[in-house]
Structure formats: structure tokens, C-alpha cells
Structure 1
Amino acid sequence: MSVTNIASGTNVHEIAEGIFRINTPVQFDNGGAFSYNQYLIVDDAPLLFHTGHRKLFSLTKEAVAYVLPPEQLRYIGFSHVEGDESGALNEWLSVAPQSVPVCSRIAAMVSINDMANRPARPLADGEQLTLGTHTVRWFDAPHLPHGWECGYLMEEKTRTLLCGDLFTQGGSNLPAVTEQDILSPSENFRHAMDYFAHAPNTREMLERLAAANPETLACMHGSAWRGDGTKLLLALAESLENKSS
């Protein structure tokens, strides 16, 4: 792991071949702690997944620059429209003049083509986007955990699922990648502050993600995770059904 900003603790770690986790830990006034992650796929057409908040943009940009010149970014992707997911979108579009937003068709239609300084490159459910040696595939996942426009990217070469808010873990002093249990801490976080919409087809969507056989889960908050992603996603589906708040 490389720390790119000593004051903030922002750091970069390669979690899979050519995929880098950019992490900024945050301490709150009430004593709580959290972390915000972006994921950078380095390739012929580099992709950044999650823009980070506008207020953290300079830190995220500094971390991206540790890996590659930010102006080389071609795609700026996110799961759904939210401050930490897409808040700095226009800042990135300004820094990387060849870049375009990547999101679901719903996100493009209802938000991004109005909010963003350039039109989106919407992805249909199951559509692939080739970056070079890496290829990502879009999964529509409305209201999983929240947001009509929500969806995820699966990087096919490394079997890495860019899974956004799924498996959110509280705290900030966490390893970049873990093979330990993240379901229990993420479910404890959810029960304390439930951010799931609990859509009627939640299990169906999680089963579909599980069928993609991910080997790395690139979580937006907390550690990335490595292991049997199919088993973990099905365990989340079971937990949501049995222990819904």
C-alpha cells in the first residue's frame, strides 16, 4: 500500500491485476470513522469507478496521479447518483478531456445527461465495455441497495465485481484487501443504519451477481474482499431475508 497524502491518509493499493483501490479514511466529529474508496482500472482506456465527493477531489486526483496521469482517464463510472459516487463527476470531466460518464441507461436519462458537462455513455444490462486487456460488464440492479438507477460493473479478466455500497463496513483502520468475514460487520452496519431499499427482487438480483462468479469484491466503504464471491453474495441474500430491519 502506498500513502499518497500523509495529512489525510489517502492511499493506493492494487487489489487485482491492473485494478487499484484509492482509499481516504475520514474521522467524524462524533468520534465515528468511515472510508471512501474509488477503483481505477489501468488499461488502454482507463476507467475510474466512483468519483468521490467534490470536497475530496484533490486527494483522489493526487492518488490517481500516483498511478497514471489523470488526463488519460477515458471513462468515469459509478453505481448510482450520490455525492460519494458521482459528486466530483464534472471535476473529472474537466481534468480528463477525453473522458465520458459511464452509468446505467436510467441514470443517464433521469440525471447525468442534465447534470454532467458531457453526455453519458449509458450501458444496457449485460452490455460489455472493452478497456484494452480488461473488459467490464454492466449489471442493472435497481434499488440494490438503493437508487432506481443503481448497477454494478464486473471486470471479466480478474473476476472483480465493483460492488458499490454492497458490504459497506464502518470504520477507517481496515486493510486494503481481506479474506476475512465482511458480511457480519457490514450487516451490523446495516442494522444500525439501514440503507437498503429491500426491493422485492433483491434475492434475484444478488443471485444474478453471484452467478457471475466474482473472486474479488471491490467495496466502496471498507476493505475490498477476496474469496468465493458467489458464496458471499448468496449469504447476503439469506441474511437480508432472515434479518431485515
Structure 2
Amino acid sequence: MEANIDEIAEGIYRLSVHVPDIAPPTGFTFNHFLLRGEEPLLFHTGLRRMFPIVRDAVARLIPPDTLRWIAFGHYEADECGAMNEWLAVAAQAQVAHGQTGCMVSLNDMADRPPRVLEDGARIDLGRGLSVRYVDTPHIPHGWDAGVLMEEGTGTLLCGDLFTQLGGGAALTTGDIVGPAIAAEDLFHFSSLHPGMGATIRRLAGLAPDRLALMHGPAFEGDGASALRALADDYERRIAATVAGLARPAAT
């Protein structure tokens, strides 16, 4: 098994591992994104047991020991399972994450102290790449959840948002909302709560030109419209759940 490498925006590379045994017959992708600035950043370390595959993919783009930043959406095995393996390989690397994630997990679990990112904090990576951290608690799950917006290319590194099944193309201009709705129907992985729509619409306000999905193809096009449509679906689900709870119990 190896990772496919595709440049989805200038200086941003998608390192994708397709695992056929998860959700067969279509399988499931695990995507990791390398931003190749003067201070390279890896968004998603990957599973600990997948570390050799991701490391070898990174090595085709940069010397792994030059990695400077490690970031991810939230504390979960496929997002940061290999965090400490990367810290061991790259002596100058530092985990960067939001205040909640650092407080509840990373201050203890990371082998070196993380950089705490406040909502809106920026990291200049050089070579025209700069990321802004946006807090998105519980979106789509995880109290510590957050995303990164690369402002030069308009690429939103959106973690588990728009999760879908299958492999396929690295970059699409087609529908990503329908497949995401289908995956939610199957996995029920999101933490439904009243603030979901507002938080996702806040991301739509960033007007991204690309959406870098952790599970599925990267999307190029009107990212704001896709985010608003996803927010609509979550709000529909929440309304249906509330309505169900409000019904009197059968006697």
C-alpha cells in the first residue's frame, strides 16, 4: 500500500491512501496534506500504523526532517495517531492546535509542547503560503475541532467535513454534498447540535475556492455554496431529531 500524491493547489499536496477493506466495496480514503512552504506544514499525520506510508510520500516532496508544523482537525487516531513519530523524525517540528485541544489532550500526549492557536491565529509558512486557524467546536465532532484556511490559494483544510466513501479522482468540480449526506446516513459520525449550521455558515463566509477533504476528493469551485448546502442538511437533521423527541411516547 502506498500514497498517491497530487498537487491540488499551488504548493499544497494531497497524500491519499485508499483502504478497500473499510466500507467495501467502495473503500475509504485517508488524506494528508503537505503545504510546501519554507516552513512545511503537514495537516493530518495519519494513523500511527500508517506512518511509514505517509513518511515515504512526504519524502518524495521534502526531506521529512525539515517538517516544521504538524496540524490536524481534532484529536483522533486518523488525524494525529502518528504525531509523536513525526516529532521524532523532525527535530524542529511543533504541533499547532487550538486552545481546547492543547488543554485536554496535546499538552500531555505530544512529546513536545504544542503551539496554542487562538481562533483566527495565523502561521506564515513562506513561499506565499499562510494558514489561519478557525475554531469549530463539535463540527462535525470533537470539542477541540478546528480547521485551517490557506489564504493565498483559498484552500480550506476542512478535516472530517464532507466525509464520503470511495476513492477516485484527487480533485473534483462535481457534487460533494450528496455523497457527504450518504456517508452521514451510513456512519452517523456527526455531533448534531443547534450551533452546527451557524458554525458551518461562518466557514462559508471565508469563500474558499477549494475544500481539502480528509475522506474524499478535494473540491474546486464554489466552496461557500457547498458549505451552506451542508449546513442546510445538518439543520434538517437537527430539526427532525428535535421533532422526534417532542412527540409524546406511545401508550
TM-score by length of structure 1 reads 0.94
Encode CA deviations 1:60-112: one digit per residue, 9 max, x unaligned. 00000111111110000011000000100000000110000011111111100
Change (3 A) 1:9 1:71: closer
- Matched with 2:136 is 141
Secondary structure, aligned partner of 1:52 = coil
1:157 maps to 2:152: yes
Q: CA contact under 8 A between 1:211 and 1:230: conserved in structure 2?
A: yes
- For residues 148-167 of structure 1, the C-alpha deviation after alignment (integer angstroms, 9 at most, x for no partner) is 00000000000000000000
Give the ranges of 4+ consecutive aligned residues of structure 1 lying more than 4 Å apart after TM superposition: none
Structure 2 vs 1, CA of residues 60 and 180 (structure 1 numbering), >3 Å: closer, same or farther? same
Q: Using the TM superposition, give the Cα deviation of residue 31 of structure 1 relative to its aligned residue in structure 2, in angstroms.
A: 3.2
Find the counterpart in structure 1 of residue 190 from structure 2.
196
Which residue is 2:19 aligned to?
26
Query: 1:122, CA displacement in angstroms?
Result: 1.3
- For 2:107 and 2:43, locate their aligned partners in 1 and report how far apart those are by CA, in whole Å: 18
What does the per-residue CA deviation read over 1:178-199, in whole Å, with 9 as the maximum and x for residues that have no partner? 0010110111010111111012
Match of 1:51 among 36, 45, 49: 45
For 1:1-20, list aligned pairs within 5 A. 8-20=1-13
Q: Once superposed, what is the RMSD of the aligned Cα atoms?
A: 1.2
Aligned partner letter, 2:233: S
> What are the Cα deviations for residues 191-245 of structure 1, in whole angstroms up to 9, with x where unaligned?
1111110122111111110001100000000101000011110010111112457
> Residues of 1 paired with 2:225 and 2:35: CA distance?
25
How many residues were matched structurally? 237
Per the alignment, in what secondary structure is the counterpart of residue 158 of structure 2?
Answer: strand
TM-superposition CA deviations, 1:19-69 (whole Å, max 9, x none): 000000002177341110000000110000000001110000000011111
Question: Tell me, which stretches of 5 or more residues in structure 1 are unaligned?
Answer: 1-7
Structure 2: distance between partners of 1:29 and 1:213: 32
- The answer to whether the 8 A contact 1:144-1:199 is kept is no
Alignment correspondent of 1:4? none
Identity of aligned residues (%): 46
Q: Which residue of 68, 71, 74 corresponds with 2:68? A: 74
Q: Is the 8 A contact 1:10 1:24 kept in 2?
A: yes
Q: Considering only CA atoms, is the larger Rg found in Structure 1 or Structure 2?
A: 2
2:164 corresponds to 1:169 = yes
* Residue aligned with 2:18, SS: strand
TM-score w.r.t. length of structure 2: 0.92
Distance 1:156 1:50 in 2: 19
The whole-number CA distance in structure 1 between the counterparts of 2:68 and 2:177 is 33
Aligned residue type for 1:88: A
Partner residue in 2 for 1:5: none
Bigger shift: 68-77 or 195-204?
Answer: 195-204
1:9: how far off?
Answer: 4.2
